[in-house]
A and B are shown apart, each in its own frame.
Chain A
Amino acid sequence: MPKIEPGDLDEIGEKIKRTMLLREGSGRAKIIVHMGTCGIAAGARTVMKAFLDEIESKGVKDVIITISSCAGLCSREPMATVELTSEPAVKYVDLTAEKARRIFEEHVLGGRIVAEYALAAGSERTL
């Protein structure tokens, strides 16, 4: 292992930045893939894998992927919710790996909602 200089610290940190953001629970964007039994049966794992592949291949550091249970609209699974900081969450329905990649590119990275796949903006109100 080479001896490091002060400037190398950031580089070392940058390499695992995504992991650290994940542990802090913070990031610019959060993608929730709904993975209840219905979601999994409809192919939610492929959708989630597509998101993870995008993150890896594009070297994105500040996006967190997480899963949750059934979103209640089982007939439209696989579903995912995209939350950008300080913007309303958007729910996408009838997803495929292909659609997931486009959502990642346009909405998560570009900030433009992919209206044709979106169900609605906003999440349910709790209590």
Chain B
Amino acid sequence: MEYRANAMICTCTNCISNGSLQIKEALEAEIRRRELESDILIVPTGASGLCVKGPILVVQPDGIFYQRLKKDDIPRLVEEHFLKGRPVKELMYVPPGQEVPIPELRAIPFFKDQRLIALRNRGMIDPDKIEEYIARDGYKALAKALKTMKPQDVIATIKESGLRGRGGAGFPTGSKWELCRKSRSQLKYVICNADEGDPGAFMDRSIIEADPHSILEGMTIGAYAIGASKGYIYVRIEYPLAIERMETAVKQAYEYGLLGKDIFGLGFDFDVDIFRGAGAFVCGEETSLIASIEGKPPEPRIRPPFPAESGLWDKPTNINNVETWANIPVIINWGAKWFSEIGTETSKGTKVFSLAGNINNAGLVEVPMGITLREIVYDIGGGIPGDKKLKAVQTGGPSGGFIPAHLLDMPVDYERLREVGAIMGSGGMIVMDEDTCIVDIAKYFLEFTNDESCGKCTACREGSEVLLKILNKICSGHGEETDLVMLEELGNAVRDASMCGLGQTLPNPILSTLLHFKDEYEEHIRNKRCPAKVCKALITFAIDKENCTGCLLCAKKCPQQAIMGEAKRPHTIDQDKCIKCGVCLDVCKFDAVLVA
């Protein structure tokens, strides 16, 4: 059957939660009703990236991008676009602050400035169809590696490409493989780390949901290079759709002989199992992850020995993150030189970020290393809602750091981020506007890591507790000058004394904000003032007598009955009753509620 158009409906977790499956059903029903089944093929795909605009439908071959679809839009869309060939402008994307919609996906700034390597097949294939992956050069790299390359050649290529681990630490992937290759053992393992736990991060989930075979192919190439015969994909159980798609992919790969015995008939054997992790943040740390697969409590252990020497069941083990594995087939197909020409001196290729926070185009982006934060936030991200000022960009999640607005033109790579006290991490990127309280947000991350600390080593377990207590003290208006010294000293101690990455990085949100935003801490401590007006203990709500029209709206909405006054006379707030919920501020139409 030859179709004239493909309707690519996004069925990533985000779009599904926005109702994309209902849109798909409505689309199918309407296409049947209009007898267009033989013209239009509906294809479910993984995330397109502009997750905040879901549900998303892209119509090919013209690349028309529809967003925020509702069930009721479908009859009109089918009649106008599919029957009469008139794309529906009202359902297209309109850039922030503009009025004219952009019909084509490739013309939308969010998409056109991205460079897709790890996400090369997103929105282009049905992740449940191995044939579609194959049609886009899938498994060719594996064939090339097994047929024409020795394991050492594969390692040399990956080393030459300059690829570094995308999970956080940025260790050179080729060297990691080489260490494991050199360990002598009959049995070796490779593991795909898909235990993505940073709040607000969804890079790994999106890659698996959009293109599971890219990971399987990367892992099989890695296993061949290292000499491993067994692989595990460690996915957290909170990712049911990713698990389902990966299970389908594994099954199909076995059926085609691309996993299992004698792959491609070329004599290499490799088996893969999916392991469902229960979702502890510490399992992202490789020794904890290994303990978890072994059925032990997920606690890290001292390294060395490194997993490359003694890992899963004491056998040599190589762990890479989802995004790292997804890069491998492309490097083998296109060559190390091609890959190493993308990016900066020390950081090659691209990086996937999940862009979140105070940003217009929240979503998943893949950009070349060396791009500036300004380009990511303003060109791709479309800037900050309400034209507010940027305060900081936080990278690396709870292990990461804050980059202040004045460093916005800094190129993004492993080294530059570290220089300013942040890290690449696995790719979380949270944009914060001027209304964000730095102390409050540092406290948020500490609450998370304090909660997720496994408790095995004292520095992390007790250190995070005390750090959090000090932050709470500062936010509640009881901060003292000595607290800042204590935060820094204790932060450094926790970093130096903790056993694993969780503890070693958990002081980062504090240390990097002390570096760039010390004045904000001092304002909380010395003047008992929260400049962003977030910390409740440090703010008061009052009514401006000039602006207040006496409409009584705030008084009616106040959950504490703390607002008194008569109609058409200025109101007042009873400070003893006020719980600082901010409802009066939200409902006032006359800018008469003051926060100080």
Please give the residue numbers on chain A whose beta carbons come within 8 Å of chain B beta carbons, in ascending order.
Answer: 1-6, 9, 12-13, 15-27, 30, 33-37, 40, 48, 52, 55-56, 64-69
Contact = CB atoms under 8 A, between A and B. Distances in A.
Contacts of B372: none
Nearest to A54: B2
Contact of A27 (B61, B85, B258): B61
Contact of A23 (B8, B85, B264): B8
A15 B60 CA distance: 18
Given A19-B41, A37-B84, A67 B132 contact: no
Contacts of A19: 3, 6, 41, 132, 135
Chain A CB within 10 Å, residue with most, of B4, B131, B132, B257 = B4
Given A23-B61, A52-B2, 15 more contacts: A6-B266, A13-B131, A13-B137, A16-B132, A16-B135, A17-B135, A22-B6, A33-B85, A36-B84, A40-B83, A55-B2, A56-B2, A66-B5, A67-B85, A69-B86
B533 to A, nearest CB: 48
A6 B267 CA distance: 13
Interface size class for chain B? 35 or more
9 tightest CB-CB pairs across the interface, nearest first? A3-B257, A67-B85, A6-B143, A13-B135, A65-B4, A68-B85, A56-B2, A1-B255, A69-B86
B264 A5 contact: yes
Nearest to A22: B61
Chain A CB within 10 Å, residue with most, of B43, B132, B138 = B132
Given A9-B134, A36-B85, A66 B62 contact: yes
Given A9-B140, A19-B3, A22-B61, A69 B84 contact: yes
B265 interface: yes
B85 A34 contact: yes
Contacts, number: 106
Contact of A20 (B2, B132, B256, B258): B132
A69 B124 contact: no
B256 A35 contact: no
A120 B124 CA distance: 36
B184 interface: no
B135 A12 contact: yes
Contacts of B5: 22, 66
Interface string B29-60: 00000000011010100000000000000001
Contact of A1 (B43, B63, B256): B256
B143 A9 contact: yes
A37 B136 CA distance: 37
A74 to B, nearest CB: 13
A29 to B, nearest CB: 12
Contacts of A26: 61
Contacts of A24: 60-61, 124
Nearest to B5: A66
A79 B143 CA distance: 47
Chain A CB within 10 Å, residue with most, of B5, B60, B135, B257 = B135
Contacts of B61: 21-27, 30, 64, 66
Contacts of A16: 131-132, 135
A64 B262 CA distance: 39
B139 interface: yes
A103 to B, nearest CB: 16
A4 B256 contact: yes
Interface string B232-263: 00000000000000000000000111100010
Contacts of B86: 36, 68-69
B567 interface: no
A125 B122 CA distance: 34
Contacts of A35: 83-85
B135 A67 contact: no
Nearest to A35: B85
B147 interface: yes
B106 to A, nearest CB: 8
B1 A56 contact: yes
A20 B62 CA distance: 13
Contacts of B264: 4-6
